Structure 1
Amino acid sequence: MIKHAQKIGELVPKRIEQPYRPYAGAIVLSPKAGLHENIAVLDFKSMYPNIMISYNLSPDTYVSSKEHVPPSGVYEAPEVKHRFRKEPAGFYKEVLSYLIKVRDEIRAKMEKLAPESVEYRVLDARQKAVKVITNASYGYAGWVGARWYIKPVAEAATAWGRYTIRNAIKMAEDAGLEVIYGDTDSIFLKYEPEKIEKLSREIGARLGLEIKPDKVYVRIFFTEAKKRYAGLLPDGRLDIVGLEVIRGDWANIAKKVQEKVLEIILKEQSPQKAVKYVQQTIYELKQKRIPYRDLIIWKTLTKHPEEYAVRTSHVEAAKMLMEKGWKLAVGDKVGYVVVVGTGRLYERVKPYMFASYDEIDVEYYVLKQVVPAAARILQSFNITEEQLTASRVEEKGTKLTDFF
């Protein structure tokens, strides 16, 4: 934004300290928990940036309640009633139009490449970075530390966003499509190609924003929580959102177990097979057959270890490393394991290179890593943590490799 301001000869505002004032955000529906077949995700293309472009939302186009309506007229946001002049184009509109164009150009290049290629992954990371910057624009306008801070822009953008999603959901239901979930700028529907194609056209014509199927899941699983689901794509890949698998504060064993449980549920629809897999993993963990590297928990230092007010496991491990001469900085990842002992958890950790498998607190990994990660999924199928730990696996029974 600063570069564009300089390009068009506009002065860059100074930051001004001011109190935080909250505003209503995007709408997220509660999902229909459980397993669903054949689900399409209808995604509004760059919804919030396009809302800001369509309604010319910008600090320099805002018309306060004390001002007269300009000759060009105004757009009035639903709910909040903020007004923005229709002409000429505002500063945000120019910047966002440019960013959307750049992202479209990158994605066009990606279509010519194989998804597993290095070039594809580099371009994918680049388009995601542009997407984050573009989608963050309305939030930036409502951030008190922003140079171009103006709360009505952020409030109006989210108000139009809620208006758009609610209307899109109603139109989908009126068309006879079952809505499974809605999140910020997308809705999850039962996939009926002809109805969805017609709905997409009608939404575009009535609401003025482009919407189209972004993904179609062969099968998708929702927990009862918002923003947490996993879907099976037509090519066999799993698309996991918001679950422990993609979070960094779990050991790799927990991530592997949960991902395999999801794979069994989504591909084979067999909760009982998933239970057996978990029980077999617990058995092999107790036999110390799980690779030591899968027990390491990695956590990033967000400040210097001495600056933490609360004692935590990764900070204690970091201090042990520093006592041995290791130099650590903010942003470094610390790898540690939980060992047998007494006291709080942070008193029972060691940097992984200072510990041996014989010291590992196996029960911790069973009860606090493997079982919770699996139960998050399997509880939706009336399977309890007690069932997962009631292992009947024998030495000559199933092996983990039998599940792959």
Structure 2
Amino acid sequence: MVEQMREVAKYCIIDALSCQRLIVKCNVINIYRELVTIAFLPLFDAYYFVRGLENKHPITGLDFASLYPSLIMTYNLSPDKIILSQKHTEQSGKKLHKISFKFKDQNILIWSIQHNNLPKEKALYANVLEYLFAKQNEIKKCFASLKEKKENMELVIASIVYMNPFYSTARDSRSPFFLRELAGSVTSAGQKNIKLIADFIKSREISMGEIEKLRDEINDFLRKDNGSPYLKMAYEKVLFL
């Protein structure tokens, strides 16, 4: 019995060390350290569990491309462009996007100032994310040569990774960028657009061979709905159920 327990412990240690070696080889700790430095969050909060690996039945589908960053850019969601009271909406003289959502059974009503695709009207968050998207595209083009150079890559990769949880800085009370109304406006806009596209797809009979065509139709529909090129569907992805 003791020998069996020792054997089990031995392989548990091997598994644990293998994970550690993999983390070191992939430079995970340094990348996430740079990420939390940018986000002003604890290192613990930068890690997340991957779910779905135990599932074995693949299907194809469409997903939004960087949904939350795209919503922030589309609706100009940023502390410097958020209006919290109706009195100030009348004084703004700007075209506004109305946002409403529930928080602790209370109706929250705020407004964001629309940018109308004019650079000078774009908010701080929208400008930062647009810059990061441009960097991401730039790196994709030259990634073949960059991937062999490990020095100074942590900050670049962290900046790209940071785009997706960007809005979470607004909902984290420990962050200097905490603004509950902003976080709520991002998630409510996400729910609205997901439902919008779900209804759009239900109104059409689509076969699996038409997914690429459907993606293009949805992107045209989104551009007409919100007047911005930011919010779009990604190419078909493989999911496991």
Q: What is the TM-score of this pair, normalised by structure 2? A: 0.59
Q: Secondary structure at the match of 1:212?
A: coil
Q: For 1:51, give the aligned amino acid.
A: L
* Match status 1:94 vs 2:127: yes
Q: Which amino acid aligns with 1:143?
A: D
TM-superposed CA distance for 1:120, in Å, is: 9.4
Greater helix content:
2
Whether the 8 Å CA contact 1:200–1:212 is kept in 2: the answer is: no
- Counterpart in the other structure of 1:170: 199
User: 1:78·1:163 contact (CA, 8 Å) conserved in 2?
Assistant: no
Note if contact 1:61-1:84 (Cα within 8 Å) is conserved in structure 2. Answer: yes
After superposition, where does 1:104-115 map in structure 2 within 5 Å? Answer: 104-110=137-143, 113=144
State the Cα distance separating 1:214 from its structure 2 match.
4.8
% identity of equivalent residues = 20
In structure 1, the residue corresponding to 2:220 is in which secondary structure?
Answer: helix
Question: Which residue does the alignment assign to 2:110?
Answer: 82
* Match in the other structure for 1:103: 136
**CA distance in 1: counterparts of 2:153 and 2:195, whole angstroms:** 30
| CA 1:119–1:34: 2 relative to 1, 3 Å | closer
Change (3 A) 1:49 1:221: closer
Show structure 1 runs of 4+ deviating over 6 A. Answer: 120-127
Name the amino acid aligned to 2:168.
G
Cα displacement string for residues 229-249 of structure 1 (whole angstroms, at most 9, x for unaligned residues):
xxxxxxxxxxxxxxxxxxxxx
Q: State the one-letter code of the partner of 1:77.
A: I
Which of these residues, 93, 102, 105, is aligned with residue 71 of structure 1? 93
Number of the residue aligned with 1:131: 160
Give 1 or 2 for the bigger CA radius of gyration.
1
Aligned length, in residue pairs = 172
Q: Say if 2:232 is the partner of 1:210.
A: yes
In 2, distance between residues paired with 1:126 and 1:175? 44
Give the counterpart letter for 2:124 in structure 1.
F
RMSD: 3.4
Query: Residues of 2 paired with 1:211 and 1:83: CA distance?
Result: 25
1:155 matches 2:184: yes
Q: CA deviation at 1:128?
A: 5.2
Corresponding residue number in structure 1 for 2:50: none
Please report how far the alpha carbon of residue 177 of structure 1 lies from its aligned counterpart in structure 2 after TM superposition: 3.3
Q: Does 1:58 align with 2:78?
A: yes
User: Contact 2:215–2:233 (CA<8 Å) still a contact in 1?
Assistant: no
Q: CA deviation at 1:138?
A: 1.0
Contact kept? 1:43, 1:214, Cα under 8 Å? yes
Q: Distance in 2 between matches of 1:203 and 1:55?
A: 12
> How far off its partner does 1:191 sit?
4.6
Question: Of the candidates 190, 209, 213, which is equivalent to residue 194 of structure 1?
Answer: 213
Quick one: which amino acid aligns to residue 72 of structure 1? K
Instruction: List runs of 5+ in structure 1 lacking aligned partners.
Output: 1-14, 16-32, 179-189, 223-404
Secondary structure at the aligned position of 1:213 is classed as coil
Partner residue, 2:19: none
Q: Which runs of 5+ in 2 are unaligned?
A: 1-39, 41-54, 102-107, 116-120
Deviation of 1:127 (Å): 6.7
Q: Choose between structure 1 and 2 for higher RCO, CA contacts under 8 A separated by at least 6 residues.
A: 2
Determine the C-alpha separation between the residues in 1 that align with 2:233 and 2:151: 26
Distance 2:98 2:204 in 1: 28
CA contact (8 A) 1:141 1:150 kept: yes
Q: 1:46 aligns with which of 63, 66, 78?
A: 66
Letter in 1 for 2:197: A
1:203, 1:211 within 8 Å by CA — same for their partners in 2?
Answer: no
Q: CA separation in 2, counterparts of 1:145 and 1:206? A: 35
Q: For residue 97 of structure 2, what is the amino acid of its counterpart?
A: Y
More strand per residue: 1 or 2?
Answer: 1
Measured after TM superposition, the shift of residue 78 of structure 1 is 4.4
Q: Classify 1:61/1:169 alpha carbon distance in 2 versus 1 (closer, same or farther; 3 Å).
A: same
Q: For 1:86, give the aligned amino acid.
A: Q
Q: Does the aligned pair in 1 maintain the 2:84–2:109 contact within 8 Å?
A: no
